[in-house]
Structure 1
């Protein structure tokens, strides 16, 4: 190795020289930032997430209203059973709201109220066991099932 370069050294010397010379002449073709397609995709994903959130939020509101209605009906149902336990000779068809109010929990002075999803106010029919919600003379249960414990007491 009297001053001669080996093939190995020559090879690396050539590669180093090539990479240095090409990097000096290389131009930056990619500018930092977002393209129009990338921005469009991000906006579409955000709109889909917002739409899903609004849909789920509406469903939760409906579910919450149903649960509150079911709780009100359970309260009246419990009052009906306690009243009938104290007055076993009274027919369930002759029970009135005023008779049940003393049997409501937390010393309530009025029957619980239930707000419908849409339409007129709801009332609780206390002459049937379990009690039901009534709107305009017909039973109100937007869930479509009398055993799901939403908008009814269930079985």
Structure 2
């Protein structure tokens, strides 16, 4: 009986850990999709306006070029639940941590989680 209870507790623990990892992955994937939308908008805008510097881009300029016909710039939810903005003055765009530093808890700039990827 004790062995059965221990096995059940172990399975529950594995399930809880997996659920947390999936939630983290899902947030990173959603952030990446938002970033790709802004990245595409940047490329489309710069194709129409080749003399404009990337550093002078603003969300207002890019909103008409968003692929999903959005009426506002997408935001990203951090691992702690905070709403973060996307920095459009760099190419490719990055999630702004609020202090001007790129937010990427995955640790890799090319894994397509919290970034545009390759």
TM-score bracket, shorter-length normalisation = over 0.9
1 CA distance for matches of 2:61 and 2:105? 29
Give 2:72's match in structure 1, choosing from 84, 89, 110: 110
Structure 1 segments of 4 or more deviating over 3 A?
none
Q: TM (normalized to structure 1)?
A: 0.73
In the TM superposition, 1:89-100 aligns within 5 A as 89-100=51-62
Match for residue 139 of structure 1?
Answer: 102
Segments of 5+ residues of structure 1 without an aligned counterpart are: 1-38
Q: Helix, strand or coil: the match of 1:60?
A: helix
Q: Looking at both structures, which has the greater relative contact order when contacts are Cα pairs under 8 Å and sequence separation is at least 6?
A: 2
2 CA distance for matches of 1:113 and 1:146? 19
User: Would you tell me which structure has more helix in proportion to its own residues?
Assistant: 1
Match for residue 154 of structure 1?
Answer: 117
- Cα RMSD, aligned residues only: 1.0
Segments of 5+ residues of structure 2 without an aligned counterpart are: none
Give 1:128's match in structure 2, choosing from 90, 95, 109: 90
8 Å CA contact retained: 1:115, 1:121:
yes
Larger Rg: 1
1 CA distance for matches of 2:98 and 2:71? 25
8 Å CA contact retained: 2:74, 2:85:
no
Q: TM (normalized to structure 2)?
A: 0.95
